[in-house]
Amino acid sequence: MFERLDRSRTDVVLIVDDVPDNLSLLHDALDEEGYTVLVATHGEAALQRARQAVPDIILLDAIMPGMDGFEVARQLKAMAETSHIPIVFMTGLTETEHVVAAFQAGGVDYVVKPIRPREVLARIEAHMQGARQARQARNALDAFGHASITVRVADGRILWQTPLARKLLLAYFDCPESVAPQELADWLRVAVPRLNEAMAAGQPPVSPPTWTVNQGGRQLSFALHQPTGDDDWLLVMQESSDQAAMDALSAEFKLTAREGEVLYWVVKGKTNRDIGDILGSSPATVKKQLEHIFAKLGVETRTAAAGLAMSRVAQLKSR
């Protein structure tokens, strides 16, 4: 695993060209504008540098010896860690078929050689705005401990994912890292059109559409967060579990860990005998613990305790 460059102060541009004069001209122009500039002189090196550094944008020569720029772009778009990077082709070929090939390979734009640095800078800045916004959204989610992924709805391909998202997907599903679970992909193909229709009609949902999967005492939810492209959506993942709910109840009502467990199972509708079996204690012990819980919650019955707990949990989730 390679260490990625720090984006806190600068954007990173990878230039791919087999002509040294072109590299030098673009490097100097971009460096003067404050970009961190990386270079590669052939296709294999471009793929390696892109995987290693994950630049914010790539300037890619279309025609190079060996692996040409079109093939480089196709391979970059096929890899989850680089598929989101905007690619601007540089080409001396202006025939329609070559322009079409550039876009079909995954390019977002192209500039014609001979290179004019001011034009290149303008194109880069235009595409960097969207890249920065997407990166800032992902970084904000990561900072608050939420896992997130970007999925292409048409084919279910995962275009980007945080380390936590990768860990959760592996824990809950048996599927390749680059492809969303089939159940999630099927849900997206239904949920996204419905959401787009609601938004177009001026009827946005009160909360994001969510899909959940259960595994034992754990639950993993996927919420549609925002589109990141024509057919790409950012999903926020969040895991909840029995233990997390018990801990939240204990903290909220200042209960002991065992009292938090008892209250949790009361909310779930379990009897004292059921709770005793689950926790390995007697019904009499559970009854005594319930008396302490009632006193701390200021209620007199298990129904009132369960109602108050459920109300407080709903408030916690909405925070």
- Residue 58 burial (CB count, 10 A): 27
CA–CA–CA angle 208, 85, 53 (5° rounding): 115
Question: Residue 299 pLDDT > 80, yes or no?
Answer: yes
Domain 254-318, CATH class in plain words: mainly alpha
pLDDT in tens, 89-111: 998 876 677 788 888 898 988 88
Which residues, 6 or more positions from 122, have their beta carbon under 8 angstroms from its beta carbon? none
Q: Residue 228 half-sphere exposure, CB side, CA atoms within 13 Å?
A: 28
Burial, 265: exposed, middle or buried (Cβ in 10 Å; 0-12, 13-18, 19+)? buried
C-alpha 146: how far from chain center: 9
Encode pLDDT of 52-65 as tens digits: 888 989 999 998 99
Mean pLDDT, rounded, for 294-304: 93
What are the φ and ψ backbone dihedral angles of 93, each rounded to 5 degrees? -95, 115
Q: Helix or strand or coil: residue 148?
A: strand
- Domain coordinates of the chain in residue numbers? 12-139, 145-241, 254-318
The tens digit of pLDDT for each residue in 17-28 reads: 999 898 999 999
Maximum distance among all Cα pairs of the chain, rounded to whole angstroms: 86
**DSSP 8-state assignment for residue 134:** H
Q: What is the mean pLDDT of residues 201-211?
A: 87
Rounded to an integer, the average pLDDT of 238-258 is 82
Query: Which residues touch 161 (CB under 8 Å, ≥6 apart)?
Result: 80, 147, 148, 149, 150, 169, 177
Report the chain's mean pLDDT, rounded to a whole number: 85
Q: Is the dihedral of CA 139, 144, 145, 149 positive or negative?
A: negative
pLDDT of residue 142: 52
Secondary structure (3-state) at 61? strand
Q: What is the dihedral of CA 195, 82, 109, 118, to 10 degrees?
A: 120
Query: Does residue 315 have a pLDDT over 90?
Result: no
Please state, in angstroms and rounded to a whole number, the distance separating the CA atoms of residues 69 and 79. 16
Q: What are the beta bridge partners of residue 241?
A: 218
Greatest mean pLDDT range, 29-38, 87-96, 243-252: 29-38
Give the pTM: 0.48
**Contact assessment for residue 256 and residue 250, using Cβ atoms and an 8 Å cutoff:** yes
CA–CA gap between residue 179 and residue 155 (Å, rounded): 8
pLDDT surpassing 60 at residue 212: yes
Residue for token pair 């504008």? 33
Architecture of domain 12-139: 3-Layer(aba) Sandwich (3.40)
- Band (181; pLDDT cuts 50, 70, 90): very high
CATH fit for domain 145-241, picks 3.40.50.970, 3.40.50.150, 3.60.20.10, 3.30.450.20: 3.30.450.20
